[in-house]
Structure 1
Amino acid sequence: MSSKKWFIVGISGATCSGKTTLSNQLQKELKNSVVIHQDNYFLPQDDPRHVKINELNHFNWELITSMDMDKMYSDILQLIESSPSKESSSETIENILILDGFLLFKCEVISNLCDRKYFITLTKEECWERRKGRVYEPPDVPGYFEKVTWPEYVKHRDELIKDNDFCNTTTFIDGSKSKEEIFQMIFTEIKKLLS
């Protein structure tokens, strides 16, 4: 593939940090863009690969193994390889793919596809404020945020921060900023990179 047809943006970060809203807004404003949400790849509840937390009698939905990442990766490849390639000698990018998910960068093959990476952080208090009003399927059980959601996020974030190569290619964003401010910052940067 001599000319690159896709510019791939990865948006990850804490639960309830605004990733999906941001991805959808970018998709609306950027021409020829498509969004793929990692949340659409959760395994069904009856899948034997889920890890059960016995004390809560609930599955751990915060693990990369609770999702079908092979399917997500193959869907991404199918999309970027099937787009009709116009006869063109210039290195023009014709499409933008926006990937969003709280464990997006945990999947190395997908992380490596991203031309730009953004990771949105939140404090525990802010994260809980937003999370407690959300309804999940299956619903969070009492204690799930404290015992599972937050510790898993911190572990994941700390792993990423220790990876120098990852940090050098990723913009960390304070998720307590307004959604509009975060959107404008990323939107402006992408437009500049593509101009």
Structure 2
Amino acid sequence: MSDWLIVGISGVTCSGKTTLSKEINAKLTNSVVISQDDYFLPTDSPRHTFIPELNHINMDIISSLDMEKMHNDILQVIQDFETGNGDGNCRTTRRVLIVEGFLIFSYKPISDLTNLKYFITLDKDECWKRRELRTYLPPDVPGYYEKIVWPEFLKHKSEIINDSSLSEVKFIDGSRSKKDIFDEVYSAIKCLMCKECSECTQSL
């Protein structure tokens, strides 16, 4: 596990988590991404919570996801992924696993694995402007954002703020430019991924 740098990128819906993760993955030759969106339960799963007044399932809570499988897959990647050649002047580089998703810090076995923790936020109006342009499966129904998505986000954010075990979570304003956000996160990763690199003792 010491050869791995595991980066958790979480945050509100449509905040740019997936885009950021893909950009970092593309930049680092010895990295891999695991996305929480790949672990939603099938829509007909009896484990889902149904919302009668909306005639819709709640896709914004931890029980809508197979987190045990996600955790097992992360452990499998850690076990199987071959060491890369690294880059730059570092003699030894750490492999980087990027774990992204809106509720990754709600599942302690995964949260505890992460060395860097980021949570991207947006205000309510900006979040809605972005979300209304997307299509989900199942599709959002009228009222779902107001009654479920935003309240669940606020609840999750409050839980993170009040959880002392998550004091290392770095909050990022998602309205900042994508480049600024990328530069901040990528610089921190580059600093920590090099075990014996003199540049890591300097400000990046």
Matched length: 188
1:186 matches 2:185: yes
- Identical aligned pairs, as a percentage? 55
Root-mean-square deviation (CA, aligned residues, Å) is 1.6
Aligned to 1:69: 67
Deviation for aligned residue 1:93: 4.4
Aligned to 2:169: 170
Aligned to 1:57: 55
1:7–1:93 Cα contact (<8 Å) kept = no
State the distance in 1 between where 2:193 and 2:75 align.
Answer: 21
The alignment partner of 2:109 has SS state of: helix
Structure 2 unaligned residues grouped into runs of 5+: 85-90, 195-204
Deviation for aligned residue 1:15: 0.3
The alignment partner of 1:134 has SS state of: coil
Change (3 A) 1:193 1:85: closer
Aligned to 1:15: 13
Structure 1 unaligned residues grouped into runs of 5+: none
User: TM-score of the superposition, structure 2-length normalised?
Assistant: 0.88
Aligned to 2:198: none
Aligned to 1:80: 78
1:5–1:92 Cα contact (<8 Å) kept = no
Aligned to 1:39: 37
Deviation for aligned residue 1:185: 0.8
State the distance in 1 between where 2:32 and 2:110 align.
Answer: 16
The structure 1 segments of at least 4 consecutive aligned residues displaced by more than 6 Å after TM superposition are none
2:9–2:118 Cα contact (<8 Å) kept = yes
Of the three residues 23, 26, 36, the one matched with 2:24 is 26
